């Protein structure tokens, strides 16, 4: 039987390494349950989690990313107190930090649909719907994963980056939505390896401070709608 309930956990501000370890623990528990179900012919439901957090300043690069897209050296990273991790998701280099909502869906896609491409399109739909609730038109670009908006000059600017990992149809990592981060940290990388398009934030486009907890609630509501799921908020 498919379990379409999503358990939401807001774990507050955590370092990237702490949140990565937290994700890995849940990810492995779900996979282990699936293995047991298959080997012992059990029918124990697997769970789906939506983890929300913010990180300290960090650059992460996916397993297929180009290290040349990091434009400063190790000494400069230390000086600026920016962490750097090579991690086991798809995608290239990106920045995470305060003012950015990190969204980590740890879903068993057997509970929804077994199609990674569709899963990514659904994540994009969640973000586009969330932006629409703020009066913004988000869009995708063929051949790229993520969501863009147009600035006041009509230029395409990335507002949400994606990078996932999946095994046995269980997902981890996810997306980062720029609400009100310090965008200057993107100057030291080539974000997602894309040279001809910049980045922006919800607050910058709206020209007003957008409250991050309000955005989290809208994101959760859109996950509920797009994935046709029930939502339960849990304490960490």
* Residues in CB range of 171: below 8 A, 6 or more apart: 105, 106, 107, 109, 119, 164, 165
- Provide the β-strand partners of residue 198: 157
Whether residue 62 contacts residue 91, with contact meaning beta carbons closer than 8 Å, is answered with yes
**Cα torsion for 88, 91, 93, 95, to the nearest 10°?**
-90
| Active-site option among 192, 219, 220, 229 | 192
Number of residues assigned to the chain: 236
How many Å separate Cα 41 from the centre of its chain? 34
The reply to whether 192 belongs to the active site is yes
Annotated catalytic residues are: 192
């Amino acid at each position: 039987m498919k379990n379409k309930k999503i358990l939401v956990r807001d774990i507050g501000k955590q370092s990237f390494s702490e949140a990565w370890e937290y994700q890995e623990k849940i990810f492995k528990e779900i996979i282990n349950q699936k293995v047991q179900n298959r080997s012992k012919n059990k029918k124990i439901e697997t769970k789906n989690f939506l983890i929300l957090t913010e990180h300290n300043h960090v650059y992460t690069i996916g397993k297929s990313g180009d290290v040349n897209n990091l434009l400063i050296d190790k000494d400069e990273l230390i000086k600026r107190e920016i962490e750097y991790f090579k991690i086991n998701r798809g995608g290239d280099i990106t920045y995470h930090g305060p003012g950015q909502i990190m969204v980590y869906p740890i879903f068993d896609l057997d509970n929804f649909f077994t199609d990674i491409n569709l899963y990514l399109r659904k994540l994009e739909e969640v973000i586009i719907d969330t932006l629409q609730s703020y009066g913004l038109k988000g869009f995708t670009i063929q051949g790229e994963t993520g969501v863009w908006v147009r600035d006041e000059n009509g230029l395409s600017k990335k507002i949400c980056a994606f990078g996932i990992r999946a095994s046995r149809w269980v997902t981890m990592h996810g997306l980062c939505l720029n609400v009100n981060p310090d965008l200057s940290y993107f100057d030291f990388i080539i974000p997602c390896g894309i040279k001809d398009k910049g980045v922006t934030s919800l607050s910058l486009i709206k020209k007003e401070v957008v409250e991050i907890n309000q955005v989290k609630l809208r994101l959760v509501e859109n996950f509920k709608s797009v994935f046709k799921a029930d939502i339960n908020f849990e304490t960490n």
